[in-house]
Amino acid sequence: MSTEPGRKAAGNGFLTDTWVNLKRWMLKTVRNPFVMTFSLINPVMFLVLFTQVFGGVAGGAISDSVGGSASYVTYLVPAIAIQVALIGATSSGVGLVNDIESGMFEKALVSPMHRGAIFLGKSLSEVLRIVLQVCIILVVGFPMFYLDAGGSLGDYVATGVLGAIGIVCVGVLFAIWFTALSNIVALVTRDQESTMIGVNIVQFPLLFLSSAFLPLDSLPGWVQVVAAFNPVTYGVDAARALMFGRDVMTLIDVTAFGGMWNTLVPAVAVLGALDIALGALAVYFIARSTSAEAR
């Protein structure tokens, strides 16, 4: 060693600490292309099977809901985008438990890195992954739409490129509350399998008891009640509004903003509030687990 001993580490600013952690988690994502691929298999399978099997039957219900000659593909793509975000968020807690089990969590805590940056860096890598995966779903959806309805790109996403970007943003906005939830479960259980099972078990009820696969008014009354309290409904409605460029929300009858904004504004408000609430709860749990209290 060439340098003098007994000096202190320089430490970094908050942004550098965030970047250091973001880099580590991106590297881990790249190292595991399987995780990236396998977490897309389920959603793509849903997209293909649902459109092929239910496309014909669903047609009537969805044209009542979104009007005209809507293809079930365009109806379903926003839902699948939300599903991808949901699955992506699930893996966040699993990653945290892995870090706790491997000792990397403690290693980060005993370093001079800012506590918040450790989590922010990790979360940003998950956001990037979700962005990429939602983009993949949007791209995969188009040839299916083309084969089904034969329309152009403009018929596929009515609001164009900006709308597509909007759908990605909705996916991220939706992912935050579930990311927070999966991290809370991780910190409480501190066990990989429990976290995985815990978050996976709610995935299907969340998807099916919502407006994801069929318009709400074609579903039984109790499902409609549950769906009203299900964040997936708001995520899917927001993404779907961008897909069709029109108001698709049936839960809350807003007319103040005009067109698709009547869906977007309330849905984004609901998701935003949920993100803040669960985010705050996650911060509380993280602070508790990193504050060096005797556990």
Partner 1 sequence: MCTVSAIDADHLELTYADGTRAVTDVSLSIDEGEFFGFLGSNGAGKTTTIKMLVTLLRPTSGSVRVNGHDVADEPRAVRKSIGYMAQETSIDEELTARENIRYACEAYGVPRDERADRIDQLLDLVDLAGVADKRAKGFSGGMQKRLDVATALVHEPPVVFLDEPTTGLDPKARNRLWDYFERINERGTTVFLTTQYLEEADHLCERISVITDGEIEVSGSPAELKSLVGGDVLEVEFDEPSDDDLERAREVAIDSALVDDPDAVERTEAGLFVTSTEARRHGTDLLVALREAGLTIVGFNVRSPTLDDVFLTVTGEEYEGGDDRADEADVAAATGEAR
CB of residue 24 to partner 1, shortest distance in Å = 5
| Strand positions, DSSP E, the chain | none
Segment lying near partner 1 (by CB under 8 A), choices 16-24, 158-166, 171-179, 220-228: 16-24
Four-residue CA torsion sign, 86, 278, 232, 236: negative
- 100 touches partner 1 (CB under 8 A): no
Are 250 and 217 contacting, i.e. CB atoms less than 8 angstroms apart?
Answer: yes
Least distance (Å) between residue 30 CB and partner 1: 10
Helix (H, G, I), strand (E, B) or coil at 6: coil
Q: Which is nearer to partner 1, 30 or 161 (CB)?
A: 30
Provide, rounded to whole angstroms, the least separation between the CB of residue 4 and partner 1: 8
In the list 5, 33, 150, 220, the residue contacting partner 1 (rule: CB under 8 A) is 5
Nearer to partner 1, 27 or 225 (CB): 27
Phi first, then psi: give them for residue 279, nearest 5 degrees.
Answer: -60, -45
Choose which of 52, 53, 107, 229 interacts with partner 1 (CB under 8 A): 107
Q: Does 37 bind partner 1 (CB under 8 A)?
A: no
State yes or no: residue 34 binds partner 1 (CB under 8 A).
Answer: no
Name the residue among 83, 203, 75, 204 with its Cα closest to residue 141.
75
> Helices 261-290 and 115-149 sit at what angle, rounded to 10 degrees?
150
Assess contact for 244 and 260: CB atoms under 8 A. Answer: yes
Q: Which of 60, 102, 200, 276 binds partner 1 (CB under 8 A)?
A: 102
Determine contact, residues 95/122, Cβ cutoff 8 Å. Answer: yes
> How far is the C-alpha of 295 from the C-alpha of 51, rounded, in Å?
50
Find, among 82, 91, 130, 90, the residue nearest to 232 by Cα: 82
Cβ proximity to partner 1: between 57 and 107 the closer is 107
Q: What mask, x for binding partner 1 by CB under 8 A, covers residues 113 to 152?
A: x---------------------------------------
Check binding of 27 to partner 1 (CB under 8 A): yes
| Residue 189, number of CB atoms within 10 A of its CB | 16
Nearer to partner 1, 10 or 256 (CB): 10
Q: From the CB of residue 184, how many other CB atoms can be counted at a distance below 10 Å?
A: 19
In the bound state with partner 1, the residue whose beta carbon lies nearer, of 108 and 260, is: 108
Q: Which is nearer to partner 1, 256 or 294 (CB)?
A: 294
Length, in residues, of the chain: 295
Nearby residues of 288 by Cβ (< 8 Å), 6 or more positions away: 187
CA distance linking residue 62 with residue 70, whole number of Å: 7
| Residue 226 CB, nearest approach to partner 1 (Å) | 37
> Amino acid identity of 291?
S
Q: Does 33 bind partner 1 (CB under 8 A)?
A: no
Contact predicate 270/234, CB 8 Å: yes
Residue 179 Cβ vs partner 1, minimum distance, rounded to whole Å: 20
- Residue 287 touching partner 1 (CB under 8 A): no
Is 52 one of the binding residues for partner 1 (CB under 8 A)? no
Binding site for partner 1 (CB under 8 A): 1-12, 16-17, 20, 23-24, 27-28, 31-32, 102-104, 106-113, 291-295
